[in-house]
Amino acid sequence: MHNFNEVINRKGTSSVKYEEMDLKFGKKELIPFWVADMDIKSPDFIISSINKRAEHGVFGYTKRMPEYYEAIINWLDNRHNLKAKRENIEYAPGVVFLLNMMVRKFTNEGDKIIIQPPVYYPFFNVIEGNNRIVVENNLILDNGKYIMDFEDLKNKAKDPACKMLILCSPHNPVGRVWTREELEELGKICIENNVFVIADEIHYDLVYKPNKHIPFASISEEFKMNSIICTAPSKTFNIAGLHSAFCIIYDQEKMDIYRNELGLLDLNRSNVFSREVTQVAYENGAKWVDELLDFLKGNMEFVYDYISKNIKGITPFKLEGTYLMWLDCRGLGLDKESIDDLFINEAGLALDSGYWFGEVGRGFMRINIACPRSMLKEALEKLENIIN
């Protein structure tokens, strides 16, 4: 059994989460709960595979062998009931890289792209930074649960300038795992209006029972051909620094376009260690992931119960998926600057501010619960003392 509660000192390891707090929050000595990586060691079989490969001592240009693809194919099938072949899968350095590539290759400057705020903030950047136009189909908070606004989506998708929708599934930061019915309705609207779907499914393994992740492309042949899935083992196995993402493209013409661009950028070769750990993770990781999910669910319930019982003015949301918990701080009666000040300067905590995820996130905060329980307990006690 992995010791998920082991406290790991990450200072001095070039960790963005620890070493860039002064740039983001203006202070270094904070307890970090912001960047979406885990303060948990990767599993032993990954560490052993890296050590074994390092001992070889030669790190030349590296290709992806058939075993790499087979590991991904089997994982997609066994964990997510998604059928794919080797020709449907291609490497990428990261999911945000993939989002940029898909926007650049499959839309034109001036096109409109739909997103569903409050949503992972790089979505805004990859659209606006590539001279496209953001169209916000805001989620609705209905009786403590976020749902999609399909009427608004229908109206916005009718605009001929809307060429693409970027779907976050499972959703970051609100923690929803979309049901088959929700995805079917979204997909139907997109097909009827010639809107292509890019599905960011990087959190696809991090789903708590009885919820189940439904890969967008698994729903129907039409959905499969009208979408691209972007995902990675990075969140699941805490290997984001190894740049080990991939995309699943069933439309061969689109795959050819992507592969050609990847080659032109000379990014079509793997990092020697990312190729290794992707294969090893998917070949050996099922039991470890199940244990991780039990631990994370326990952390989620701990945070939910602690805040609900002890901290006035903050309402936590129970997670269906991801390890990123959404906190409604509007009950504190503070503006966004004052909420930031309370968390950063008074409580000494670094969380993601809700407004980073769009204006509809104003008054909220996102906390990363993928860490030893002791870290969460210390943070919540600090917050309780300041607020109460």
pLDDT for residue 112: 98
Distance from C-alpha of 177 to C-alpha of 322, rounded to nearest angstrom: 9
pLDDT for residue 9: 95
Distance from C-alpha of 328 to C-alpha of 118, rounded to nearest angstrom: 12
Question: What tokens were used for 97?
Answer: 């890289």
Average pLDDT of span 14-29: 95
* pLDDT 10s digits, 360-386: 999 999 999 999 999 999 999 999 999
Radius of gyration of the chain (CA): 21
Distance from C-alpha of 300 to C-alpha of 292, rounded to nearest angstrom: 12
Residue ranges of alpha helices (H) inside the chain are 16-19, 21-25, 44-56, 66-80, 95-106, 122-128, 150-157, 180-192, 221-225, 234-237, 252-264, 272-284, 286-310, 336-341, 373-387
Distance from C-alpha of 131 to C-alpha of 133, rounded to nearest angstrom: 7
Check whether 388 has a pLDDT greater than 90: no
Write down the mean pLDDT value for the chain. 97
Check whether 37 has a pLDDT greater than 90: yes
* pLDDT 10s digits, 172-207: 999 999 999 999 999 999 999 999 999 999 999 999
**For 320-332, b where at least 16 C-beta lie within 10 A, e where not — what string?**
bbbbbbbbbbeeb
Fold of 16-32+287-387: Aspartate Aminotransferase, domain 1 (3.90.1150)
Distance from C-alpha of 369 to C-alpha of 296, rounded to nearest angstrom: 7
Residue 351 phi/psi, 5° resolution?
-120, 165
* pLDDT 10s digits, 106-119: 999 999 999 999 99
> For the whole model, what pTM was predicted?
0.97
pLDDT for residue 269: 86
The domain locations on the chain are 16-32+287-387, 59-284
* pLDDT 10s digits, 62-114: 988 999 999 999 999 999 999 999 999 999 999 999 999 999 999 999 999 99
The CATH classification number of 59-284 equals: 3.40.640.10
Distance from C-alpha of 114 to C-alpha of 102, rounded to nearest angstrom: 14
> Which residue, 335, 331, 319, is CA-closest to 369?
319
For 123, the 3-state DSSP assignment is: helix
* pLDDT 10s digits, 219-256: 999 999 999 999 999 999 999 999 999 999 999 999 99
Q: Indicate the angle between helix axes 180-192 and 150-157, nearest 10 degrees.
A: 20
